[in-house]
Amino acid sequence: MLKFKGIIPAVLTPFNNKGEFDEEAQRENLRFLIENGVHGLMVNGSTGEAENLSREERRKNVELAVEEAGGKIPVIAGTGVPSTKVTIDLSKDAKDAGADAVMIVTPFYLIPNEEGLIKHYKTIAEKVDIPIVLYNIPQHTKVNLDSILIEKLCNEVSTIVGLKDSYGNLSQFADTIARVGDKISVLTGCDDLILPSLILGAPGAIIALANIAPKMVVELFEYVQKGEINKAKEIYFKLLPIARAIGSEYNFPAPVKEAVNLLGRKAGPPRSPITQLSTKEKEEIKKALKHAGLIQ
């Protein structure tokens, strides 16, 4: 079974000043991440503004990631939407574009009960033969994949290989690792909890922070793997202000894009209804980048 390990950036999607998908800028971003040692790529997620992309843009994003990865690291494509049928269509697109797995967020707006949720994932798995990474972010979806439900899903859907958990509840996260950590990759999606998550036994992370400081996050991961926790803590505390500054439930991923733009790389503006940051918010990002030693 496919297992994910290490630092996997939740890759942003760059737009030009006309609001168009900037394919060349995305190639540059992907190359930068790969050169800095990341262990995989995840496109078309929350950080990638997936809900603001057309079906064609989603597919192109996957194709670019697959081309740049060149088979050396895996590519995960976000395909989850409220509709089971549309999720199947997007998952087929991702498979055809060469993705190694799809990440499927729980339905949102259309909020299913447990029976409907299990049926949703089972139906997708029956229709598309590709590994599935579950995505739990209940603060946005109002649907929580708790540890017991995740265990049920793993028992019923054989193609589930991982979980990105962005809930931020360390107790639930720890229980999930205890229940299914030997079956699937239980990855954290919480930038500000990366170190405690890794210490609890998470094999890696899918995080927005890796767009901003991929080398530092990879080093943090490697120190944990070697048991050098104090060195990992040093990096963690340098990065924590950035993680906190980009972690708002509102207007995401504008703070991530601002940070990347400040570092001289191409993120561009977010698409409406997400807005660019206020002067005060920009200063907070700049201060956090200075604390990490990423800018002067």
Tell me if 293 is assigned to some domain: no
Tell me if 151 is assigned to some domain: yes
C-alpha 296/C-alpha 289 separation (Å) is 8
Only one residue has tokens 């995080």, namely: 207
Tell me if 135 is assigned to some domain: yes
Tell me if 280 is assigned to some domain: no
- Per residue in 161-200, pLDDT tens? 999 999 999 999 999 999 999 999 999 999 999 999 999 9
Determine the pLDDT at residue 2.
82
Determine the pLDDT at residue 175.
98
Tell me if 276 is assigned to some domain: no
Active site residue 121: no
Determine the pLDDT at residue 199.
98
Active site residue 60: no
Q: Contact, 251 vs 46, CB < 8 A?
A: no
Tell me if 281 is assigned to some domain: no
> Residue 92 is part of a domain; what is its CATH number?
3.20.20.70
- Angle subtended at Cα 284 by Cα 278 and Cα 285, rounded to the nearest 5 degrees: 90
Q: What is the domain range of residue 21? A: 6-221
Determine the pLDDT at residue 99.
98
Nearest to 26 by CA among 70, 76, 61, 66: 61
Tell me if 241 is assigned to some domain: no
Q: What is the pLDDT along the chain (296 residues), one digit of tens a residue?
A: 689 999 999 999 999 999 999 999 999 999 999 999 999 999 999 999 999 999 999 999 999 999 999 999 999 999 999 999 999 999 999 999 999 999 999 999 999 999 999 999 999 999 999 999 999 999 999 999 999 999 999 999 999 999 999 999 999 999 999 999 999 999 999 999 999 999 999 999 999 999 999 999 999 999 999 999 999 999 999 999 999 999 988 999 999 999 999 999 999 999 999 999 999 999 999 999 999 999 99
Tell me if 31 is assigned to some domain: yes
List 60, 95, 121, 164, catalytic entry: 164
- Angle subtended at Cα 36 by Cα 264 and Cα 189, rounded to the nearest 5 degrees: 90
List 121, 135, 223, 236, catalytic entry: 135
Q: How many domains does the chain contain in total?
A: 1
Determine the pLDDT at residue 278.
96
